[in-house]
Amino acid sequence: MEKLQQLAESVINGKAPDAERLTQELLDEGLTPSEVLNQGLIIGMDEVGRRFRNNEFYVPEVLIAARAMKSGMKILRPLLAETGVKPMARIAIGTVKGDLHDIGKNLVGMMLEGAGFEVVDLGVDVSSDKFIQAVKENNAEAIGMSALLTTTMVNMDSTMKEIEKQGIRNQVKVIIGGAPVTQNYADEIGADGYASDAASAVALLKEVLNLPA
């Protein structure tokens, strides 16, 4: 449908007013909220992620795309809740204890939301307890930990150990990323995966949760 394509284009081009208008028009024409989300907004953010991975888009382009996506979601969110449509999965993200850097974590959050995940943003300087609380109380099916510094990266390891200690390791998948983080480090601490950038985090999360790509 041409208008769904236009909606996707409005997200790719970061045109928030267009995204909002087209979302409403598509609903008025009889499409379900799920159809508008999956065949319009998410298709647009998928393309944004692809371009970001390929260095065709940079952070500013991702930010305006996420803003356009949000303007459509503002209309869709209550309708999705009313009709009982569940998000793809719930993930709690945060920058680990001792680290106040949030740009990378915010980008990951935007890309995941754009892909249809529900994101619980725990903020910066997040302790092991807070991550565990998000699993126990918010039923987060996955955790995403970010760190900019080599010294704070080690708190990913302590959070992994605490998750094991609390006996909830089999309830939650853990993905990690950030400047000093590597796949080797993810393997070393027993995380389920490592993503080198925000767009790759979407594919990784789908993979570890066994969701369709």
**Cβ proximity to other proteins, 151 vs 171, nearer residue:** 151
The reply on whether position 44 binds other proteins by CB under 8 A is: no
Nearest approach, Cβ of residue 168 and other proteins (Å): 29
**Does residue 124 interact with other proteins by CB under 8 A?**
yes
Q: Quick check: helix, strand or coil at residue 198? A: helix
Give the total of residues touching other proteins (CB under 8 A).
24
Q: Give the residue, chosen from 138, 151, 161, 190, that forms a contact with other proteins under the rule CB under 8 A.
A: 151
Which residues in 135-159 are b (16+ Cβ under 10 Å) and which e? Answer: beeeebbbbbbbbbbeebbbbbbeb
SS3 195: coil
Which of 25, 47, 102, 162 touches other proteins (CB under 8 A)?
Answer: 102
- The Cα–Cα gap between 84 and 74 comes to 16
Q: Is 100 in the site for other proteins (CB under 8 A)?
A: yes
Give me the residues paired with residue 96 across strands: 126
CB atoms within 10 A of CB 163: 21
To other proteins, the closest distance from the beta carbon of 99 in angstroms equals: 10
Among positions 129, 179, 187, 188, the unique one binding other proteins when judged by CB under 8 A: 179
Name the segment binding other proteins (CB under 8 A); options: 28-36, 41-49, 161-169, 174-182. 174-182
* CB distance 203 to 213 below 8 Å: yes
Ranges assigned E (strand) in 122-205: 142-146, 173-177, 193-194
Confirm or reject binding of residue 182 to other proteins (CB under 8 A). yes
Q: Contact with other proteins (CB under 8 A): which of 106, 128, 146, 155? A: 106
- By beta-carbon proximity to other proteins, the closer residue of 172 and 181 is 181
Is residue 90 part of the contact set for other proteins (CB under 8 A)? no
**Per rule CB under 8 A, is residue 103 in the interface with other proteins?**
yes
- Alpha-carbon gap, residue 90 to 142, rounded angstroms: 7
- Nearest to other proteins of 47, 197 (CB atom): 197
- Tell me which DSSP letter residue 39 carries: I
Ordered strands of the 173-177 beta sheet: 118-121, 90-95, 142-146, 173-177, 193-194
Beta strands in 35-148 (DSSP E): 90-95, 118-121, 142-146
Residues at the site binding other proteins, with contacts judged by CB under 8 A: 14, 55, 58-61, 63-64, 67, 100-104, 106, 124, 149-151, 179-180, 182, 196-197
